[in-house]
Structure 1
């Protein structure tokens, strides 16, 4: 479980990350990352649409992603806002596959965000 201070909860935050942030996609998910420059702790949010599956499937995917991101959040720079958007193939993916996609997408997005600063 992500601590409350580590969650993105406001629509404006999600919108800012997805519009102004750097993104990196894989077959099962897309990572949007924005370096806010505010010195806050890293925060994360999740988007799992109905295209992924019914409510049970969407919640399962969200729980898996939340667990994976919680382990990686301390490694992110302090001013990072992260949105992980699940794609339909995420419903059939194992946690290991989601973790590998997440790691690759995070590396790519961080590299892109670092280059833009």
Structure 2
């Protein structure tokens, strides 16, 4: 599970991170941006809109993404915020496909931001 200190919660934090460099595919879009100086660890937020599907489908996608990103926490750059936005095709993707895309897009977004993941 994703520890509480590593979660984005406030709207302002999501908005700030969404203005950072991004990388996307048909399944996901990942944004990375340096966080506030008072936050030493990386934080992650998830956006899964109603376009992805009904509540059961959205929650399944969120659970999968949280589990995937929890395994990536040691690889994320410190003091950066990451936002993972699911596109509608993510509802039909398998776990391994989501994991592969998430890893690739996080690395690509970090490269664009000029940080090492």
TM-score by length of 1: 0.93
Tell me which residue corresponds to 1:49: 49
Is the contact made by 1:34 and 1:80 (CA closer than 8 Å) also made in structure 2? Answer: yes
Distance 2:7 2:87 in 1: 20
Unaligned runs of 5+ in 2: none
**Deviation (angstroms), 1:37:** 6.1
Q: Aligned Cα RMSD in Å?
A: 1.2
Q: In the alignment, does 2:42 pair up with 1:29?
A: no
TM-score by length of 2: 0.93
Determine if the alignment matches structure 1 residue 2 to structure 2 residue 28. no
Moved over 3 A (4+): none
Determine whether 1:63 maps to 2:63.
yes
CA-to-partner distance for each residue in 1:93-116, whole Å, 9 max, x for gaps? 00100011111111110110017x
Partner of 1:76: 76
**Structure 1 residue 36: deviation in Å?**
2.5
1:82-97 residue pairs with structure 2 within 5 A? Answer: 82-97=82-97
- Structure 1 unaligned blocks of 5 or more: none
